[in-house]
Each structure stands twice: as structure tokens, then as C-alpha cells.
Structure 1
């Protein structure tokens, strides 16, 4: 599959997941992330795959340093929504070794969908050092309920 076909299929998948989420259907656990634009001040939304690990909720940015990541770094107050149900959180970025267990579990759960966005060979079976290395380009956030 070419890069253009991959980008198109990803956009189509995101539109479907986002619409399902707005209807109250959580496809595979996906939710709609709502953030405030750092330049516009307007609300922006995108589908995300929250991960619960050891009682904590996390977001991983599989596509890397995206606009939602930049917006969350600017204003860490976010909302996760499914249909009419929504919850507000403060996002705290997790770095280095602390992010490794989250990244490993995320890859176990979501690699079928997002594995293509990570470097070749990176998987849930990667070493701690390999996973720590990708956190730089694929940020991890721990969510604290407001």
C-alpha cells in the first residue's frame, strides 16, 4: 500500500470512528478527544484510543507530534467524549522509562490499528530501550480526572 493510500485509509477510518463516537458508540474503546487550539482558542476534536493501565488512564500519540499533542502541551485541560457522555481531565506528559510500560501495553492493544505509524520493528515485544526511544516521537500522557 502506498503512502497516499495509507493516508487516505487512515483519514477514512478516523472519520468513521469519530462519527461513531459522536453517536455514542465506542469502536474498540475509542473516544473523541476535545482540545482547545493553542492559536485559535477554538475546540478541536480527533479520535483517540485511551488506555487504562494499573488504574490510570493514558493517551499515546501514535502519529507523533500532531496538532492535538501541541495543543495539549499548551493547555493540558482536555475532554474525552463518547456520544453525550464526556469527562474532563488534565493531561500530564510521561517521559522516558516511566512511559515504557504504557507504550508496551498500548502496542499490545492497538498495534493492529496504529503499528504502521511506529518505526519498523517496534512492537510490544521490543526492548525497554527501544520503546523508550520511540516515546520522544510518540508522546504519552497520563490523564487525571478533574
Structure 2
């Protein structure tokens, strides 16, 4: 199954119904640690309901820090994190309270490029190429310059773990 295309540069793209159903399974697998090593469950308070919202997401490691990249751009979880002023929790086996700091657009390209490089290690070449194209509109061999041209459309958050 091909990923939903998020490559169009728009403010918000709602996920397809099958993505929402797949997220439930993803939350379960990442929460108990049965997903790829970089997969976690992000939990953040809903901005209108106040109820906890959970989404499976891939954590990207770069220069000793962990980051979350919003593949769908201005996704609901991004809006919820902003409304919660970065207060969230990450679960993979155990729950850890975190603060998520959104990076300015000028600082996102290197982390997004690292995400693309990590795709090669976590999936097949075809799958990595599909994800790079469908999520970012780029090839898997994209350069920092290529990524810099689209970085403003993809929020990136630095994770600070609370002790």
C-alpha cells in the first residue's frame, strides 16, 4: 500500500480514513515497544477536547538530540503540541514526560535530511523512495539544499526529556 501523498504545500491535510484506523494499531505496537526502534507513541492533550490524543511517530536522532518531524505538515498533533505549549509524553515501553520545542524553519532542513537518511536504514529502497516522494515531494537522495526549499512546510520539534 502506498503512503498518502502529503507532498502538496498546503497548511493542513487531513489523513485518509485508513490512516486513522492504522494509527490505532501503531499506537498499540509503539507503546509496548514492538515497533521499529525509532517508533514511539506521542501523547498530547487535545486543544479543544482536553482529552489525551495519541499518535505513532518516528523519532529522529541528530547530533545527540531527538526530534519529531511532522510528515503531514500542519497535522492535528502539531496544533495540539502548540496549544499545549510543548507539554507532552512519549511512550515506548514506559511513559516519559517531555517538552517539545518547535524549531524555526531555518533550522529544520538538517533534521529532515537526517530523517530521509534514516529511512534507508528502516525500510527497503523502494519504500524509502516512496516515503520521500509522498511525504516531502523529494527523492531519497535529496540534498540539504533540496530539503531547505521545503522545510518551512514541515514542523520539527526538539524533544527534551524530563527526569
TM-score by length of 2: 0.74
More helix by share: 1
2:141 to 101, 108, 125: 125
Report which stretch shifted further, 23-32 or 62-71: 23-32
Structure 1 residues 86 and 123: alpha-carbon distance in aligned structure 2, compared to 1, 3 A threshold: farther
**Number of residue pairs the alignment of both structures matches:** 142
Q: Which has the higher contact order (CA 8 A, sep 6+)?
A: 2
Please, which runs of 5 or more residues in structure 2 have no aligned partner? Answer: 5-14, 121-127
Please, which runs of 5 or more residues in structure 1 have no aligned partner? Answer: none
1:56 alignment partner in structure 2 = 65
CA distance in 2 between counterparts of 1:53 and 1:60 reads 12
Equivalent pair of 2:40/2:56 in contact (CA under 8 Å):
yes
Structure 1 position 100 matched with structure 2 position 118 = no
TM-score by length of 1: 0.82
1:17 alignment partner in structure 2 = 26
Structure 1 residues 118 and 29: alpha-carbon distance in aligned structure 2, compared to 1, 3 A threshold: same
